[in-house]
A and B are shown apart, each in its own frame.
Chain A
Amino acid sequence: MSSSQNILVKLNEAGFSLNNKWLVKGVSLQVEKGKIVTLIGPNGSGKSTTAKIALGIYKKISGSVEKYTNKVGYVPQKISIDWTLPLRVNDFMVLTESISNDLIDKALSLTGVIHLKDKNLGDLSGGEFQRVLLARAISKKPELLVLDEPVQGVDFTGEIALYELIKKISDELNCGILLISHDLHTVMSATDHVVCLNGHVCCSGSPIDVAKNNKYKALFGEQASQILSRYEHRHDHIHTSEGEIKKN
């Protein structure tokens, strides 16, 4: 079903080493238009590194990266703004691309931080800053979105809302999303393809396939596997308003 025209970025056996130590090795994956690919794995398993390889931030890599779009939105895992830079949310929104005021307002409203538009970035809380980062990445209507733990520090209800927003953006803009997350439960419900990393690709496939994989169970434990099977269960039928159960 994957036509080559839809591919936005493709990694072939890609790897990156620093000081003679492989951060990640032999990763093959592709992100297509309208699809969400999620990278999961323990700390230090090479998720962020893989994202940076896909983005072209790391250049001296093994294997190869083919990138078919220049319209990229990126939410890095960690970003700190130096005090010496007087930067308001509004200035930050147009950092890499000049976009209209309407688009800025729309994106900030979608992530629920329009009221912070004139605030200094240094005065935001972690969760607020995360919402601004996401707003900035989506405001330029990218073809490829790379989100490295986009909801860290966001409150519980906000987290669910933002994941729903990410799913909605993927549908509306028909953009491909490479998502990194620790939150298996929430992420799996919206993902088309999961890549489980542990320095290399441990297993990959649809969320259900990955959940059944023994390597995944070994890495995350039986409980994590159950999270996914619960999800699977949850979606194989619909509860109608009359209280009936209808099979999909």
Chain B
Amino acid sequence: MLDDFFIRALIAGIGVAIVTGPLGCFVVWRRLSYFGDTLAHSALLGITLAYSMEFNIAFSVFIISSLIALTLIQLQKRTNLPGDALLGLLAHSSLAIGLVVIGFLSFIRFDIMGLLFGDILAVTVDDLLIIWIGGALILLILKLIWKPLFASTVNYELAEAEGLNPDRAKAIFTILMAAIIAISIKMVGLLLITGMLIIPAAMARNISSSPQKMVMYSIIGGLLSVILGLFSSLEFNTASGPSIITASLFLFILSLLNIKQSIKLKN
């Protein structure tokens, strides 16, 4: 069964969606979408390093993204430049360096489109293992830090005052962000991975009344996007990443209709 590339892609996509669901909620709550973008852009550098040194891609991307996250924290301490400028600086310079390095590696044939937008054909059985084991670890750790992370998302000072150590939770969450980008980069591609984090969570916000429900709907939205997106990608011969994101946008628009209806009901 795993011989079929499409089944492999489906299993990979489902694994990714289960993890991006809850992480995406925190990205929306904590306003981290541009931060996610920055980590994803830096992934290209990780990929090129993986190719040139014959590393595992997910591992290499994880290391580079974590380094970029640490660099950001250091930069924030040392300059007064606003956060978005620093993020832009890191995002584009790491993307540029990645592309420059690709130029030097002329002996390797790169599928740039595949890197940028995801390629379902590229998902191997090894990738499945990385996605599902890595994903399970991410979810486990997220569950362990849920209380301090969520409390500090609502109010940092409250969490700190009542002894929850929000700084540690934030640092761990940053590492988890690097990890999800590392394991899903092949599926969705580095330009669209943030979409996979944000759009299902944004869709879920429109229809949820509690944080737990938002996480659940975000996962369901992600799963539906993956399934719809992959089938249409097969049908229309389009890249997997854009197809998945387009499907999630479709779900988001549906959730807006739901909001309008509930406002009408209120009046």
Contact = CB atoms under 8 A, between A and B. Distances in A.
Contacts of B163: 70, 72, 96
A190 B147 CA distance: 35
B56 interface: no
Contacts of B158: 74, 76, 79, 95-96
B103 interface: no
Contacts of A74: 157-158, 161-162
Contact of A84 (B28, B150, B155, B212): B28
B84 interface: no
A55 B151 contact: no
B260 interface: no
B214 interface: yes
Query: Which of A57, A79, A84, A91: most chain B CB closer than 10 A?
Result: A84
Contact of A81 (B154, B160, B161, B164): B154
B79 interface: no
A52 B157 contact: yes
Interface in B192-235: 205, 208-214
Contact of A96 (B164, B213, B214): B164
B162 A97 contact: yes
Interface in B145-201: 147, 150-151, 153-155, 157-164
A85 B157 contact: no
B29 A82 contact: yes
B162 A72 contact: yes
B191 to A, nearest CB: 24
A87 interface: yes
Nearest to A82: B29
Given A73-B162, A96-B164, A86 B28 contact: no
B151 A86 contact: no
Nearest to A79: B155
Contacts of B161: 52, 55-57, 72, 74, 76, 146
A163 interface: no
A47 to B, nearest CB: 15
A19 to B, nearest CB: 11
A86 B205 contact: yes
A185 interface: no
A52 to B, nearest CB: 7
Given A86-B211, A87-B210, A96 B151 contact: yes
Contacts of A73: 162
A57 B210 CA distance: 28
Contact of A95 (B28, B151, B157, B209): B151
B211 A95 contact: no
A215 to B, nearest CB: 30
Given A79-B155, A84-B205, A86-B210, A55 B150 contact: no
A97 B162 CA distance: 9
A91 B160 contact: no
Nearest to A120: B209
Contact of B209 (A55, A86, A96, A146): A86
B211 A76 contact: no
A92 interface: yes
Nearest to B163: A70
A10 interface: no
A182 interface: no
A6 to B, nearest CB: 20
A188 to B, nearest CB: 26
Nearest to A77: B157
B127 to A, nearest CB: 32
Contacts of B164: 96
Report the 9 A-B pairs with minimum CB-CB distance, sorted nearest first: A55-B161, A74-B161, A96-B162, A57-B160, A95-B151, A86-B208, A70-B163, A96-B151, A57-B157
Given A84-B28, A88-B209, 9 more contacts: A56-B161, A72-B163, A76-B155, A85-B154, A86-B208, A86-B213, A95-B158, A120-B209, A146-B161
11 contacts: A55-B161, A72-B163, A73-B162, A74-B157, A76-B157, A87-B154, A88-B209, A95-B151, A95-B158, A96-B162, A97-B162
Interface of A: 52, 55-57, 70, 72-74, 76, 79, 81-82, 84-88, 91-92, 95-97, 120, 146
